[in-house]
Amino acid sequence: MTYYNLNNGVSIPVLGFGTWKAENGEIAYQSVLEALKAGYRHIDTATIYKNEESVGRAIQDSGIPREEIFVTSKLWNTNHNYGQARQAFEESLEKLGLDYLDLYLIHWPNPKPLRENDQWKIRNSEVWRAMEDLYQEGKIRAIGVSNFLPHHLNALLETAKIFPAVNQVRLAPGVYQEEVVDYCREKGILLEAWGPFGQGELFDQEEVKEIAARHEKSVAQIALAWSLAEGFLPLPKSVTTSRIKSNLDCFGIELSQEEREILKRITVKSGAPKVDEMDF
């Protein structure tokens, strides 16, 4: 596993293991255990995935030293004030059975109830202050955001004392959010790519299949190689042992500039989320 350097100097494995929809219990437990056995050293979970307990148990049972595993969780939308954010963080930590997190993210910038009168701006500022305090107290090694577009980041930066290290957004071949990508690159915020397989849509895409055949690789491996070539940090999810293993075989694939452009421009129907209109 190779690493990126976050803007606070912390190293982060260039690929993480996604766990959304990996059901708490045997499924999440076994898939995280398999992932760690296969060589993943970075696990992405969130309060809303409701699987932190199983993820944590797998981390403990893996026998891998804690400091060798990078663990991310995310603050859910119902905890958008200072006290709630701190409490939600402690609950995540407890469920995971850990005494610190490597990365903690604000999951969404503007949950629906906070859109009236732009309340989200004040709430994000409060939540960020809680996260900054937890960071200063040594309970989180890096703090960041998720699904933030440039205007959400600009608002946050008006009061932030610590710069976000990461923005986790939907990015995949065919889902290239140019504005947010340019913004984060310019400001030194690492882009994590959720839904790196277009949440499954890429597997039926002819252009991707052609490129995969040319390289004698799977569509999944090509999608991850594209993400890495763009300097993103992909978070592939699978609960299937063979896929967990084969997805990891995405390093060292040399995509040409032309192939990268084709992958960038293909069409994925579901596209990027309309963050300011999400129904939650």
Ligand X SMILES: NC(=O)c1ccc[n+]([C@@H]2O[C@H](COP(=O)([O-])OP(=O)(O)OC[C@H]3O[C@@H](n4cnc5c(N)ncnc54)[C@H](OP(=O)(O)O)[C@@H]3O)[C@@H](O)[C@H]2O)c1
- Site for ligand X contains 237 (CB under 6 A): yes
Which is nearer to ligand X, 54 or 146 (by Cβ)? 146
Residue nearest ligand X (C-beta atom) = 18
Contact 16, 36 (CB under 8 A): no
Distance of CA 178 to the CA centre of its chain: 18
Neighbours of 117 (CB within 10 A): 8
Report residue 6: phi and psi, to 5°: -75, 165
Rule CB under 6 A: is residue 199 a binding residue for ligand X? yes
Instruction: Verify binding: residue 203, ligand X, rule CB under 6 A.
Output: yes
Q: Distance (Å, rounded) from C-alpha 257 to C-alpha 250?
A: 17
Q: Choose between 7 and 30: whose C-beta lies nearer to ligand X.
A: 30
Which residue out of 3, 4, 40, 49 is catalytically annotated? 49
Long-range contacts of 153-158 (CB under 8 A, 24+ apart): 153/183, 153/184, 153/187, 153/189, 155/121, 155/124, 155/125, 156/109, 156/124, 156/125, 156/128, 158/125
Please give the Cα distance from 29 to 35 (Å, whole number): 10
- The count of chain residues that interact with ligand X, using the rule CB under 6 A, is 26
CB-nearer residue toward ligand X: 123 or 237: 237
Closest separation in Å from C-beta 134 to ligand X: 19
Query: Does residue 152 touch ligand X according to CB under 6 A?
Result: no
Check binding of 47 to ligand X (CB under 6 A). no
Place of tokens 């990891």: 248
Candidates 4, 20, 82, 163; binder of ligand X (CB under 6 A) is 20
Nearer to ligand X, 183 or 194 (CB): 194
Q: Would you please indicate which residues are annotated as catalytic (active-site) residues?
A: 49
Residues interacting with ligand X, by CB under 6 A?
18-20, 44, 107, 146-147, 168, 194-197, 199-200, 203, 218, 220, 235-240, 243, 246-247
